[in-house]
Amino acid sequence: MRLISGFSKLDKQEKINWLAEHFSTDPQAFSADLATWQHPDDGVQRVVDGFTENAIANYVLPYSIAPNFLINGKVYAVPMVIEESSVVAAASSAAKFWQERGGFHAEVIGTVKLGQVHFQWFGEPERLREIFPALRARLLDSSTDLVANMEKRGGGILGVELIDFPEEPNYYQLRVSFETCDSMGANFVNSVLERFAETLEAFFTDTQGLSDTERDVEVVMSILSNYTPDCLVRAWVECPISSFADLARIQGMDAESLARRFAMAVRIAQIDPYRATTHNKGIYNGIDAVVLATGNDFRAIEACGHTYAARDGQYRSLSRCTVQDGMFRFELEVPLAMGTVGGLTALHPLAKRSLEILGQPSARDLMCITAAVGLAQNFAAVRSLITTGIQQGHMKMHLTNILNHLGATPEEAAAAQHYFQAQTVSFSGVRAYLEARGERREARGERRLDASLRFFP
């Protein structure tokens, strides 16, 4: 029976046993395998299990470092969590390239977070506008206990607006703006909004001088908005076009042509949504990896960025490039609602390490670092696309994965890396190459790395 009630009430081993029995062709191997994906320290495992319901093991992704990021004059080694081959290598290579050209520059344009209380009200719209100042005062008054701590840290509620939508009569929203300092602030924002919803209902019930119709209010929902266009950061790099000379020469181009082709590639992503989506995906290869490594919410960050990319009605590139007066400038403007205190940042053991590696950044610093990595990733991708194509870098990493999978020794791997520089990489080709050398570990009776190596020994 594959349906179950009360799954969440089973302990972890019972969950694994039930899964093994009903969904695996080899229950014993299944249970044994999952047992290897538990953290050896029970305390750490308990913390990780506590993040979600029904955790049965840890799903491992590489925790990597992209060093040499010079951002606003400070050098960072940036932690990245990503599974895609070549992303970290590309970020590191772009970091090195720009470190020799003044590094990345970044500035926070704003840090405003938003939330909404959606409600229906059945009186005349003008009347609602008339009484709104009194309502706003009552809302703010009702939330003083919730905002006290945030205000001490320099944040709090920045404003409350009343918005109506002519296409949906009787529907209104309170759009509330917040400053949440170094925290992402989701709990704070949602708590305030739910208090506002209660206050809204009480206001219409007990305010003097309202007609019966004007007392009817129905709160639909209260929730933060992940669209935060004013929680925005700009990162940029710039250099004389002439400093592309070496890079261009390798490609048989001159520096000016390379810079212009780069700018053209970015303009294509400005005007064509098909290209823009892929272009921005490359930016989020970098951004998401830092967001994950620091315990932030990559779904929120991506959702917001894509809406921002379509803010004028067409989905466009988040980055821009100019080539003029002998200078190349490449810039990324992206909303990033990130935090460095609270939430997963304080709970996930490696998120804490990431923040340590980054020098305990403020949320504003982290926005700058993350935007710089997004820009670096975009630079590396476009640079490859307009020169060698990306398959060269991808295939190098792909080859490493195949070699690991086949249990190649370091010597075999080095020889294969050399051999496949001039050959097409394919799984069967690499296997044939290793077999032909007659040097496979198995043949020598040595342990294969792929089957026996486990993340948590």
Residue type at 397?
M
Q: Which residue has the tokens 């590139």?
A: 317
**Which of 179, 297, 365, 412 does the annotation list as catalytic?**
297
Q: How many residues does the chain have?
A: 457
279 given a catalytic annotation: no
Residue whose Cβ sits closest to ligand MEV? 282
Nearest to 330 by CA among 213, 211, 244: 244
Contacts of 109 (CB under 8 A, 6+ apart): 230, 232, 233, 234, 333
Q: CB-hemisphere CA count at 13 Å for 212?
A: 0
Measure the CA–CA gap between 379 and 213, rounded to whole angstroms: 58
Nearer residue to ligand MEV within complex by CB, 261 or 364:
261
Q: Shortest gap between Cβ of 378 and ligand MEV (angstroms)? A: 7
Q: Shortest gap between Cβ of 283 and ligand MEV (angstroms)? A: 8
Nearer residue to ligand MEV within complex by CB, 184 or 376:
376
Q: Shortest gap between Cβ of 335 and ligand MEV (angstroms)? A: 20
**Which of 84, 411, 442, 446 does the annotation list as catalytic?**
84
Which long-range contacts link 142-151 to residues 24+ away (Cβ below 8 Å)? Answer: 142/195, 142/196, 142/198, 142/199, 143/192, 143/195, 143/196, 143/199, 146/188, 146/191, 146/192, 146/195, 147/192, 150/179, 150/180, 150/181, 150/185, 150/188
Nearer residue to ligand MEV within complex by CB, 87 or 197:
87
Nearer residue to ligand MEV within complex by CB, 281 or 437:
281
Nearer residue to ligand MEV within complex by CB, 278 or 324:
278
Q: In b/e form, how buried is each residue of 130-147, taking b as 16+ CB within 10 angstroms?
A: ebbeebbebbbebbeebb
**Which of 105, 279, 348, 394 does the annotation list as catalytic?**
394
396 given a catalytic annotation: no
What are residue 386's phi and psi, to 5 degrees? -90, 0
Q: Shortest gap between Cβ of 301 and ligand MEV (angstroms)? A: 17
**Which of 96, 281, 352, 396 does the annotation list as catalytic?**
281
9 given a catalytic annotation: no
Residues at the contact surface with ligand MEV, assessed by CB under 6 A:
84, 278-279, 281-282, 285, 381-382, 385, 390
Q: Shortest gap between Cβ of 240 and ligand MEV (angstroms)? A: 24
Catalytic residues: 84, 281, 297, 394
